[in-house]
Structure 1
Protein backbone atom coordinates (compact mmCIF):
# COMPACT_ATOMS: atom_id res chain seq x y z
CA UNK A 1 0.00 0.00 0.00
CA UNK A 2 1.62 3.20 -1.14
CA UNK A 3 2.26 6.05 1.27
CA UNK A 4 1.07 9.44 0.03
CA UNK A 5 2.09 11.52 3.04
CA UNK A 6 5.45 11.92 4.76
CA UNK A 7 5.78 10.17 8.15
CA UNK A 8 6.13 13.40 10.16
CA UNK A 9 3.13 15.13 8.55
CA UNK A 10 0.84 12.12 8.75
CA UNK A 11 1.68 11.23 12.36
CA UNK A 12 1.37 14.87 13.41
CA UNK A 13 -2.26 14.92 12.26
CA UNK A 14 -3.05 11.83 14.30
CA UNK A 15 -1.28 13.16 17.40
CA UNK A 16 -3.07 16.52 17.15
CA UNK A 17 -6.44 14.79 16.80
CA UNK A 18 -5.77 12.62 19.86
CA UNK A 19 -4.66 15.60 21.94
CA UNK A 20 -7.75 17.58 21.02
CA UNK A 21 -9.96 14.67 22.10
CA UNK A 22 -8.05 14.18 25.35
CA UNK A 23 -8.43 17.86 26.23
CA UNK A 24 -11.81 18.36 24.60
CA UNK A 25 -13.16 20.15 27.69
CA UNK A 26 -10.69 22.97 27.02
CA UNK A 27 -12.02 23.60 23.51
CA UNK A 28 -15.33 24.78 22.18
CA UNK A 29 -15.97 21.92 19.79
CA UNK A 30 -19.25 21.37 18.02
CA UNK A 31 -20.87 17.95 18.13
CA UNK A 32 -19.98 17.50 14.45
CA UNK A 33 -16.31 18.33 15.07
CA UNK A 34 -16.10 15.97 18.03
CA UNK A 35 -17.68 13.14 16.07
CA UNK A 36 -15.33 13.73 13.13
CA UNK A 37 -12.25 13.65 15.36
CA UNK A 38 -13.42 10.44 17.02
CA UNK A 39 -14.14 8.71 13.72
CA UNK A 40 -10.75 9.70 12.30
CA UNK A 41 -8.78 8.71 15.40
CA UNK A 42 -10.55 5.40 15.96
CA UNK A 43 -10.16 4.42 12.32
CA UNK A 44 -6.44 5.15 12.26
CA UNK A 45 -5.73 3.36 15.53
CA UNK A 46 -7.99 0.36 14.89
CA UNK A 47 -7.25 -0.25 11.21
CA UNK A 48 -4.82 1.92 9.32
CA UNK A 49 -1.74 2.48 11.46
CA UNK A 50 -0.48 -1.13 11.38
CA UNK A 51 -0.84 -1.31 7.59
CA UNK A 52 0.89 2.04 7.17
CA UNK A 53 3.93 1.08 9.25
CA UNK A 54 4.54 -2.09 7.23
CA UNK A 55 3.91 -0.50 3.81
CA UNK A 56 7.61 -0.21 2.95
CA UNK A 57 8.27 -3.98 3.00
CA UNK A 58 7.79 -5.31 -0.57
CA UNK A 59 7.49 -8.99 0.32
CA UNK A 60 4.79 -8.24 2.91
CA UNK A 61 2.72 -6.05 0.59
CA UNK A 62 0.29 -8.68 -0.77
CA UNK A 63 -0.59 -10.06 2.67
CA UNK A 64 -0.76 -6.61 4.24
CA UNK A 65 -3.00 -5.25 1.49
CA UNK A 66 -5.39 -8.18 1.71
CA UNK A 67 -5.50 -7.94 5.50
CA UNK A 68 -6.22 -4.21 5.29
CA UNK A 69 -9.06 -4.76 2.83
CA UNK A 70 -10.56 -7.46 5.03
CA UNK A 71 -10.34 -5.19 8.07
CA UNK A 72 -11.99 -2.39 6.10
CA UNK A 73 -14.79 -4.62 4.84
CA UNK A 74 -15.66 -5.52 8.44
CA UNK A 75 -15.12 -2.07 9.97
CA UNK A 76 -18.05 -0.92 12.09
CA UNK A 77 -18.30 2.55 10.52
CA UNK A 78 -20.01 1.65 7.25
CA UNK A 79 -19.41 5.01 5.54
CA UNK A 80 -15.67 4.94 6.26
CA UNK A 81 -15.54 1.30 5.24
CA UNK A 82 -17.13 1.90 1.84
CA UNK A 83 -15.14 5.06 1.14
CA UNK A 84 -11.80 3.51 2.03
CA UNK A 85 -12.49 0.35 0.05
CA UNK A 86 -13.17 2.51 -2.99
CA UNK A 87 -10.02 4.60 -2.51
CA UNK A 88 -7.66 1.75 -1.67
CA UNK A 89 -9.15 -0.24 -4.51
CA UNK A 90 -7.25 2.06 -6.88
CA UNK A 91 -3.89 1.07 -5.39
CA UNK A 92 -3.81 -2.72 -5.30
CA UNK A 93 -0.87 -3.53 -7.54
CA UNK A 94 0.37 -6.17 -5.10
CA UNK A 95 -2.92 -8.07 -5.20
CA UNK A 96 -2.63 -8.62 -8.93
CA UNK A 97 -1.56 -12.00 -10.25
CA UNK A 98 1.66 -10.42 -11.49
CA UNK A 99 2.94 -9.39 -8.05
CA UNK A 100 1.23 -11.68 -5.56
CA UNK A 101 4.29 -13.93 -5.87
CA UNK A 102 6.05 -11.51 -3.53
CA UNK A 103 4.20 -13.27 -0.73
CA UNK A 104 6.41 -16.32 -1.30
CA UNK A 105 9.25 -14.32 0.25
CA UNK A 106 7.19 -13.07 3.19
CA UNK A 107 8.26 -14.80 6.43
CA UNK A 108 4.83 -14.03 7.92
CA UNK A 109 3.03 -16.14 5.30
CA UNK A 110 2.83 -19.75 6.45
CA UNK A 111 4.03 -22.77 4.49
CA UNK A 112 0.51 -23.98 3.71
CA UNK A 113 -0.43 -20.70 2.03
CA UNK A 114 2.84 -20.63 0.09
CA UNK A 115 2.16 -24.18 -1.05
CA UNK A 116 -1.29 -23.10 -2.28
CA UNK A 117 0.19 -20.12 -4.12
CA UNK A 118 2.71 -22.35 -5.87
CA UNK A 119 -0.02 -24.80 -6.85
CA UNK A 120 -2.02 -21.95 -8.39
CA UNK A 121 1.06 -20.72 -10.27
CA UNK A 122 1.47 -24.15 -11.83
CA UNK A 123 -2.17 -25.02 -12.43
CA UNK A 124 -4.42 -21.94 -12.77
CA UNK A 125 -4.75 -20.21 -16.11
CA UNK A 126 -3.72 -16.56 -16.24
CA UNK A 127 -6.56 -14.06 -16.32
CA UNK A 128 -7.00 -11.25 -18.81
CA UNK A 129 -8.41 -8.96 -16.15
CA UNK A 130 -6.50 -7.80 -13.10
CA UNK A 131 -7.53 -9.78 -10.06
CA UNK A 132 -7.97 -6.60 -8.03
CA UNK A 133 -10.72 -5.51 -10.43
CA UNK A 134 -12.47 -8.84 -9.97
CA UNK A 135 -12.10 -8.52 -6.24
CA UNK A 136 -14.07 -5.31 -6.02
CA UNK A 137 -17.02 -6.62 -7.96
CA UNK A 138 -18.03 -8.41 -4.76
CA UNK A 139 -16.56 -6.96 -1.57
CA UNK A 140 -18.79 -9.32 0.40
CA UNK A 141 -16.35 -12.08 -0.53
CA UNK A 142 -13.36 -10.28 1.00
CA UNK A 143 -13.40 -12.06 4.37
CA UNK A 144 -12.93 -15.42 2.65
CA UNK A 145 -10.29 -14.34 0.12
CA UNK A 146 -6.81 -15.83 0.39
CA UNK A 147 -3.54 -14.87 -1.26
CA UNK A 148 -3.63 -18.00 -3.37
CA UNK A 149 -6.88 -16.76 -4.96
CA UNK A 150 -4.85 -14.10 -6.79
CA UNK A 151 -2.11 -16.41 -8.09
CA UNK A 152 -2.01 -18.04 -11.52
CA UNK A 153 0.44 -18.87 -14.27
CA UNK A 154 0.52 -15.14 -14.87
CA UNK A 155 2.33 -14.81 -11.54
CA UNK A 156 5.48 -16.00 -13.30
CA UNK A 157 5.73 -12.40 -14.50
CA UNK A 158 7.49 -11.52 -11.25
CA UNK A 159 10.25 -14.07 -11.74
CA UNK A 160 10.58 -13.56 -15.48
CA UNK A 161 10.87 -9.79 -15.24
CA UNK A 162 13.73 -10.09 -12.74
CA UNK A 163 15.27 -13.11 -14.47
CA UNK A 164 14.97 -15.10 -11.24
CA UNK A 165 15.40 -18.86 -11.20
CA UNK A 166 12.44 -20.71 -9.71
CA UNK A 167 13.77 -24.17 -8.90
CA UNK A 168 12.69 -23.68 -5.28
CA UNK A 169 9.03 -23.75 -6.34
CA UNK A 170 9.28 -27.50 -6.87
CA UNK A 171 10.37 -27.99 -3.26
CA UNK A 172 8.56 -27.81 0.06
CA UNK A 173 8.37 -24.24 1.44
CA UNK A 174 9.92 -25.39 4.71
CA UNK A 175 13.15 -26.13 2.82
CA UNK A 176 13.34 -22.92 0.79
CA UNK A 177 15.66 -21.18 3.23
CA UNK A 178 18.42 -23.58 2.15
CA UNK A 179 17.82 -23.08 -1.58
CA UNK A 180 20.26 -20.77 -3.39
CA UNK A 181 17.65 -19.49 -5.87
CA UNK A 182 15.32 -18.60 -3.01
CA UNK A 183 18.13 -16.83 -1.17
CA UNK A 184 18.77 -14.78 -4.29
CA UNK A 185 15.12 -13.77 -4.37
CA UNK A 186 15.21 -12.77 -0.71
CA UNK A 187 18.30 -10.66 -1.39
CA UNK A 188 16.47 -8.85 -4.19
CA UNK A 189 13.64 -7.82 -1.87
CA UNK A 190 16.04 -6.82 0.91
CA UNK A 191 17.65 -4.40 -1.56
CA UNK A 192 14.22 -3.20 -2.65
CA UNK A 193 13.21 -2.57 0.94
CA UNK A 194 16.40 -0.63 1.65
CA UNK A 195 15.89 1.48 -1.47
CA UNK A 196 12.32 2.23 -0.46
CA UNK A 197 13.47 3.33 2.99
CA UNK A 198 16.13 5.62 1.53
CA UNK A 199 13.64 7.20 -0.86
CA UNK A 200 11.15 7.73 1.96
CA UNK A 201 13.79 9.54 4.00
CA UNK A 202 14.76 11.68 1.00
CA UNK A 203 18.19 10.09 0.54
CA UNK A 204 19.73 9.26 -2.87
Structure 2
Protein backbone atom coordinates (compact mmCIF):
# COMPACT_ATOMS: atom_id res chain seq x y z
CA UNK A 1 0.00 0.00 0.00
CA UNK A 2 2.93 2.34 0.69
CA UNK A 3 4.08 2.13 -2.93
CA UNK A 4 0.61 3.05 -4.10
CA UNK A 5 0.44 6.04 -1.73
CA UNK A 6 3.84 7.37 -2.80
CA UNK A 7 3.02 6.87 -6.46
CA UNK A 8 -0.31 8.62 -5.95
CA UNK A 9 1.52 11.59 -4.42
CA UNK A 10 3.89 11.70 -7.39
CA UNK A 11 0.90 11.59 -9.72
CA UNK A 12 -0.93 14.39 -7.91
CA UNK A 13 2.08 16.69 -7.68
CA UNK A 14 3.76 15.81 -10.98
CA UNK A 15 3.21 19.28 -12.45
CA UNK A 16 4.17 21.21 -9.29
CA UNK A 17 7.55 19.69 -8.54
CA UNK A 18 10.47 21.21 -10.42
CA UNK A 19 12.88 18.57 -9.13
CA UNK A 20 10.68 15.79 -10.47
CA UNK A 21 10.99 15.66 -14.23
CA UNK A 22 9.08 12.64 -15.48
CA UNK A 23 9.45 11.30 -18.97
CA UNK A 24 6.32 10.60 -20.98
CA UNK A 25 6.84 6.86 -20.48
CA UNK A 26 7.21 7.26 -16.70
CA UNK A 27 4.09 9.40 -16.50
CA UNK A 28 2.10 6.80 -18.48
CA UNK A 29 3.29 4.01 -16.19
CA UNK A 30 2.39 6.03 -13.10
CA UNK A 31 -1.09 6.71 -14.47
CA UNK A 32 -1.58 2.99 -15.20
CA UNK A 33 -0.40 1.97 -11.73
CA UNK A 34 -2.47 4.61 -9.93
CA UNK A 35 -5.58 3.73 -11.95
CA UNK A 36 -5.24 0.07 -11.01
CA UNK A 37 -4.59 0.95 -7.38
CA UNK A 38 -7.54 3.30 -7.07
CA UNK A 39 -10.06 1.22 -9.03
CA UNK A 40 -9.16 -2.30 -7.86
CA UNK A 41 -6.48 -2.66 -5.21
CA UNK A 42 -7.61 -0.17 -2.55
CA UNK A 43 -11.07 -1.70 -2.09
CA UNK A 44 -9.63 -5.20 -1.75
CA UNK A 45 -6.91 -4.02 0.64
CA UNK A 46 -9.42 -2.27 2.94
CA UNK A 47 -11.72 -5.30 3.04
CA UNK A 48 -8.89 -7.81 3.60
CA UNK A 49 -9.33 -7.62 7.37
CA UNK A 50 -12.81 -9.15 7.15
CA UNK A 51 -11.97 -12.86 7.31
CA UNK A 52 -15.57 -14.04 6.99
CA UNK A 53 -15.90 -12.26 3.65
CA UNK A 54 -12.50 -13.34 2.27
CA UNK A 55 -13.87 -15.96 -0.15
CA UNK A 56 -16.46 -13.55 -1.53
CA UNK A 57 -13.86 -10.79 -1.78
CA UNK A 58 -11.57 -13.12 -3.73
CA UNK A 59 -14.36 -13.92 -6.17
CA UNK A 60 -15.19 -10.22 -6.52
CA UNK A 61 -11.51 -9.49 -7.12
CA UNK A 62 -11.47 -12.10 -9.86
CA UNK A 63 -14.49 -10.46 -11.51
CA UNK A 64 -13.06 -6.95 -11.07
CA UNK A 65 -9.81 -7.97 -12.74
CA UNK A 66 -11.74 -9.49 -15.62
CA UNK A 67 -13.60 -6.20 -16.11
CA UNK A 68 -10.37 -4.21 -15.65
CA UNK A 69 -8.94 -5.92 -18.73
CA UNK A 70 -11.19 -3.61 -20.79
CA UNK A 71 -9.40 -0.60 -19.27
CA UNK A 72 -5.85 -1.95 -19.32
CA UNK A 73 -5.56 -5.47 -20.68
CA UNK A 74 -1.87 -5.87 -19.87
CA UNK A 75 -2.31 -5.14 -16.15
CA UNK A 76 -5.61 -7.03 -15.96
CA UNK A 77 -4.15 -10.21 -17.44
CA UNK A 78 -0.97 -9.95 -15.35
CA UNK A 79 -2.92 -9.44 -12.12
CA UNK A 80 -5.28 -12.32 -12.86
CA UNK A 81 -2.22 -14.51 -13.29
CA UNK A 82 -1.64 -14.13 -9.56
CA UNK A 83 -4.99 -15.70 -8.67
CA UNK A 84 -3.69 -19.26 -9.08
CA UNK A 85 -4.36 -19.93 -5.39
CA UNK A 86 -8.14 -19.73 -5.76
CA UNK A 87 -9.56 -23.25 -5.41
CA UNK A 88 -12.96 -24.36 -6.70
CA UNK A 89 -14.09 -24.79 -3.09
CA UNK A 90 -13.96 -21.00 -2.75
CA UNK A 91 -17.41 -20.76 -4.29
CA UNK A 92 -18.83 -22.98 -1.54
CA UNK A 93 -17.08 -20.96 1.18
CA UNK A 94 -18.46 -17.74 -0.32
CA UNK A 95 -21.96 -18.99 0.48
CA UNK A 96 -21.29 -18.44 4.20
CA UNK A 97 -20.74 -14.71 3.77
CA UNK A 98 -23.56 -12.25 4.35
CA UNK A 99 -22.41 -10.08 1.43
CA UNK A 100 -24.22 -11.81 -1.44
CA UNK A 101 -28.00 -11.97 -1.39
CA UNK A 102 -29.85 -15.26 -1.06
CA UNK A 103 -30.75 -15.05 -4.74
CA UNK A 104 -27.06 -14.69 -5.70
CA UNK A 105 -26.15 -17.61 -3.47
CA UNK A 106 -28.82 -19.76 -5.07
CA UNK A 107 -27.56 -18.81 -8.54
CA UNK A 108 -24.00 -19.79 -7.55
CA UNK A 109 -25.18 -23.18 -6.31
CA UNK A 110 -27.14 -23.82 -9.50
CA UNK A 111 -24.19 -22.79 -11.69
CA UNK A 112 -21.81 -24.97 -9.71
CA UNK A 113 -24.10 -27.97 -10.07
CA UNK A 114 -24.73 -27.46 -13.79
CA UNK A 115 -21.25 -26.41 -15.01
CA UNK A 116 -19.46 -29.56 -13.98
CA UNK A 117 -16.16 -27.90 -13.05
CA UNK A 118 -16.03 -25.00 -15.51
CA UNK A 119 -14.01 -22.23 -13.81
CA UNK A 120 -15.23 -19.23 -15.82
CA UNK A 121 -16.45 -16.31 -13.75
Root-mean-square deviation over aligned CA pairs: 2.5
In structure 2, relative to structure 1, the CA distance for the partners of 1:51 and 1:86 (3 Å cut) is same
Partner of 2:5: 15
Task: State whether structure 2 residue 76 is matched by structure 1 residue 81.
Answer: yes
Q: Name which of 29, 32, 50 aligns with 1:57.
A: 50
In structure 2, relative to structure 1, the CA distance for the partners of 1:106 and 1:24 (3 Å cut) is same
* 1:77 CA drift (Å): 0.4
C-alpha distance in structure 2 between counterparts of 1:119 and 1:73, whole Å: 22
Partner of 1:101: 92
Structure with max Cα Rg:
1
Structure 2: state its 5+ residue gaps.
none
Q: Name which of 12, 23, 36 aligns with 1:30.
A: 23
Equivalent residues in 2 for 1:1-204, closer than 5 Å: 10=1, 12-25=2-15, 26=17, 27-75=20-68, 76-88=71-83, 90-93=84-87, 96-97=88-89, 99-117=90-108, 124=113, 134-135=118-119, 141-142=120-121
- Relative to the length of structure 2, the TM-score reads 0.77
Displaced runs of 4 or more, over 4 A:
116-121
Alpha-carbon deviations, 1:19-52, whole Å to 9, x = none? 1112112111111111111111110101121112
The answer on whether the counterparts of 1:72 and 1:81 sit within 8 Å (CA) in structure 2 is yes
* 1:101 CA drift (Å): 2.6
C-alpha distance in structure 2 between counterparts of 1:116 and 1:74, whole Å: 20
* Corresponding pairs, count: 115
Structure 1: state its 5+ residue gaps.
1-9, 136-140, 143-204
C-alpha distance in structure 1 between counterparts of 2:76 and 2:108, whole Å: 28
